[in-house]
A and B are shown apart, each in its own frame.
Chain A
Amino acid sequence: MTEAQRYTASEILAILSARQLQDGQVVFAGIGVPLLAATLAQRTRCPALTILFEGGVVGAFVEPGKLPPSTNDQRCTKRANMVLGSADVLLLLQRGYVDVGFMGGAQIDQFGNLNSSFIGDPAKPKTRLPGTGGGNDISSLTNMIVAMKHEKRRFVEKVDFITSPGFIRGGTSRRDSGLPSGGMWRVITELAVFGFDDRTRRIKVLALNPGVNREEVQDNTGFRLDFDEKLHVTSPPTDHELETLRMLDPDRLFTA
């Protein structure tokens, strides 16, 4: 079996995302791949990971095969440490208790800004998207990991609308806007792992996913990409990672 046939695009997305988390961290996870990847990390390398959900859950321990349809459903609370009101769990971000936020993205730009509100002119939108949910709160107040599909129309030079701020216009513009903490840290796609330049705050490729070359990443991106000088190739998903992931999501709710 070739490497690419061993797993689906969303499986490698979940696995490489899970690898970004460290044991002992407090992570605020959104629904979909973030919830799944955080749970995967918890069940593999990071048993002391504390997972928060916007529905008010502190210390989630999601049951295999019983993934919740949103982060506001009762399944999120099974074997959790605590339930809070949703405003209070979000306020933990503002106080600084959360090490990393973790969410999906519909459209991202070179400074890591995310759009989930409007396609086209917001005054006369081509498409009204669902909106921020807790995304803006999380990205405003902590370090962010974003897991998303890699398509040219999703990776654009400038988003139509900044729903969840990354580094805004780069440089110090995030801090100058009143957001002194946090910011985009990693973006994971089925093609590559991205970070951000310390000074310009522009996105750059840190690592290529197994079997992917530079051209493929560039061709699927709507602006010119920088590649890190230490660019490397990520090690492929292990059997243990794949087995655990499939045990958690046997119905392929989030890994279709």
Chain B
Amino acid sequence: MPDTLVEPYTRLREKMAQRDRSLREKVVSLEEAAGFVQDGMKVGIGGSTMSRTPMAMLWELIRQHRKDLSISRCIVSTDGDLVFGSGIANHVVTSWFAQGILWGLSKVMRHHVENGGKRYEEWSHMAVGMRFRAGGMGVPFLPTRAMLGSDIVGQRPEAKQIDCPFTGEKLLLVPALNPDVALIHVQRCDPYGNAQIDGLQFMDIDLALAANSVILTTERIVSNDQIRRAPDQTKIPFFCVDAVVEVPYGSAPHECYGLYEPMMRHMEAYVTQVNADPVKGMQEYLDRYFYSPKSWNEYLSLIGMDEVLEATQKGRSIYND
């Protein structure tokens, strides 16, 4: 089928009708879950910046050498570097692309966008949110009042300016974004995929509703009984979810709310290495931390017990008085 900017509604509904939305256990391994992501797909990423990044899933996709992915996320941090640097993606849709405010510009992003032919498609933060929300609502666009008058809008022929049919005011319509697959990391879910998110939810609910399939990675798998004790904490319903993978520390070296903060020494060392040489430095980083380890646990061991424990102590302290 030809690719269109916005999926026609009938096609969106056909894809939904074909999904197995029954109440069934979906627990798989990281390797198996990666099978939901095929070359060329549009992949939405949950969390934001250094928070609740589905790093383990990205790690697995990089190890399996996916290619030509189009990534969307509200704000990217080192995950943006890694998908460009590893070659799994050639297109990133986001509002902000660097490693973190503490470190200035990403030399990796600059290298791949300025010289490497990869595309960074910039939208305002709210516009990314409205694109996922429109996708989750089953409508082809939403109107916003942001981006008007800026030069960003001139770069985005995908957005359409209109005069409001009710008031005559200028509005910008941003197109729905329905990723083929969303990767979302949560604190806990049951084997069916009922997911509870603590703290900041970012755009994950809209993203889960918008995507045509969802892979959840989770710090813990809990029973359905446990989910039912606090249904108000459930943010993503099971019928959105196609696979569940239990991966403790699945956001490392980024943070997972209430459990661990970012592993800042690792982040600092990463930034120093890749910004010194965005090609060779990145290759050495990937070799050491992504391609060489036999398992996610071995990757965590390379980050180091001291660093992981320190991040854990800080992460848990959010609940201290």
Shortest CB-to-CB span from A186 to chain B, Å, is 20
Q: Which residue of the partner chain, among A32, A129, A168, contacts B101 with CB atoms under 8 Å? A: A32
Which of the 9-residue segments A10-18, A87-95, A144-152, A235-243 touches chain B?
A87-95
Asked if B155 is an interface residue, CB under 8 A from chain A, the answer is yes
Assess the A132–B113 pair: CB atoms within 8 A.
Answer: no
Answer whether A77 and B201 are a contact pair too, CB < 8 Å, given A86-B129, A165-B149. Answer: no
Assess the A177–B148 pair: CB atoms within 8 A.
Answer: yes
Which residues of chain B are within 8 angstroms of A161 by Cβ–Cβ distance?
A: 151
Which residues of chain A are within 8 angstroms of B206 by Cβ–Cβ distance?
A: 85, 87
For chain B, the bracket of interface size reads 35 or more
Q: Which residue of the partner chain, among A77, A91, A127, contacts B200 with CB atoms under 8 Å? A: A77
Cα(A106)–Cα(B222), bound, Å: 46
Asked if B216 is an interface residue, CB under 8 A from chain A, the answer is no
Assess the A86–B125 pair: CB atoms within 8 A.
Answer: yes
Asked if B4 is an interface residue, CB under 8 A from chain A, the answer is no
Assess the B48–A131 pair: CB atoms within 8 A.
Answer: no
Shortest CB-to-CB span from B261 to chain A, Å, is 7
Shortest CB-to-CB span from A69 to chain B, Å, is 6
Which residues of chain B are within 8 angstroms of A117 by Cβ–Cβ distance?
A: 122, 151-152
Q: Which residue of the partner chain, among B50, B101, B114, B146, contacts A128 with CB atoms under 8 Å? A: B114
Cα(A161)–Cα(B152), bound, Å: 8
Assess the B203–A86 pair: CB atoms within 8 A.
Answer: yes
Cα(A31)–Cα(B147), bound, Å: 21
Which residues of chain B are within 8 angstroms of A90 by Cβ–Cβ distance?
A: 125-126, 129
Assess the A94–B146 pair: CB atoms within 8 A.
Answer: yes
Assess the B126–A91 pair: CB atoms within 8 A.
Answer: yes
Which residues of chain B are within 8 angstroms of A174 by Cβ–Cβ distance?
A: 149
Residues B84-114 near A (CB distance < 8 A): 94-98, 100-102, 105-106, 109-110, 113-114
Residues B193-214 near A (CB distance < 8 A): 199-206
Assess the B94–A70 pair: CB atoms within 8 A.
Answer: no
Answer whether A163 and B96 are a contact pair too, CB < 8 Å, given A72-B202, A128-B114. Answer: no
Residue among A72, A74, A93, A122 with max Cβ neighbours from chain B (10 Å): A74
Which residues of chain A are within 8 angstroms of B264 by Cβ–Cβ distance?
A: 69
Which residues of chain A are within 8 angstroms of B96 by Cβ–Cβ distance?
A: 130-133
Asked if A55 is an interface residue, CB under 8 A from chain B, the answer is yes
Which residues of chain B are within 8 angstroms of A74 by Cβ–Cβ distance?
A: 51, 199-200, 255, 257-258, 261, 315, 318
Asked if B150 is an interface residue, CB under 8 A from chain A, the answer is yes
Can you list, as one digit per residue, whether each of B48-90 has a CB less than 8 Å from chain A (1) or not (0)?
Answer: 1111000000000000000000000011010000000000000
Which of the 9-residue segments A44-52, A134-142, A192-200, A222-230 touches chain B?
A134-142
Asked if B21 is an interface residue, CB under 8 A from chain A, the answer is no
Which residues of chain A are within 8 angstroms of B192 by Cβ–Cβ distance?
A: none
Assess the A130–B98 pair: CB atoms within 8 A.
Answer: yes
Give the A interface residue count (CB, 8 A).
Answer: 52
Assess the A55–B200 pair: CB atoms within 8 A.
Answer: yes
Assess the B114–A125 pair: CB atoms within 8 A.
Answer: yes
Cα(A164)–Cα(B150), bound, Å: 6
Asked if B171 is an interface residue, CB under 8 A from chain A, the answer is yes
Assess the A72–B75 pair: CB atoms within 8 A.
Answer: yes
Cα(A78)–Cα(B318), bound, Å: 6
Which residues of chain B are within 8 angstroms of A87 by Cβ–Cβ distance?
A: 126, 129-130, 132-133, 203, 206
Which residue on A lies nearest to B122, using beta carbons? Answer: A131
Shortest CB-to-CB span from B126 to chain A, Å, is 4
Residues B248-266 near A (CB distance < 8 A): 255, 257-258, 261-262, 264
Which residues of chain A are within 8 angstroms of B150 by Cβ–Cβ distance?
A: 136, 140, 162-165
Can you list, as one digit per residue, whether each of A53-79 has a CB less than 8 Å from chain B (1) or not (0)?
Answer: 011110000000000011011111110
Which residues of chain B are within 8 angstroms of A168 by Cβ–Cβ distance?
A: 149
Cα(A75)–Cα(B258), bound, Å: 10
Assess the A85–B202 pair: CB atoms within 8 A.
Answer: yes
Cα(A174)–Cα(B102), bound, Å: 32
Assess the A128–B169 pair: CB atoms within 8 A.
Answer: no
Which residue on B lies nearest to A78, using beta carbons? Answer: B318
Asked if B15 is an interface residue, CB under 8 A from chain A, the answer is no
Residue among B149, B172, B202 with max Cβ neighbours from chain A (10 Å): B149
Answer whether A85 and B105 are a contact pair too, CB < 8 Å, given A134-B124, A141-B146, A174-B149. Answer: no
Answer whether A133 and B120 are a contact pair too, CB < 8 Å, given A72-B51, A179-B145. Answer: no
Shortest CB-to-CB span from A125 to chain B, Å, is 6
Cα(A76)–Cα(B145), bound, Å: 27
Shortest CB-to-CB span from B47 to chain A, Å, is 8
Q: Which 4 A-B pairs have the closest CB atoms?
A: A87-B129, A178-B170, A177-B149, A133-B96
B residues sitting closer than 8 Å to A (CB atoms) are 48-51, 74-75, 77, 94-98, 100-102, 105-106, 109-110, 113-114, 120, 122, 124-127, 129-130, 132-133, 144-152, 155, 161, 169-172, 199-206, 255, 257-258, 261-262, 264, 315, 318
**9 A-B residue pairings within 8 Å (CB atoms):** A69-B101, A75-B261, A117-B152, A128-B114, A132-B152, A163-B152, A165-B149, A177-B149, A180-B169
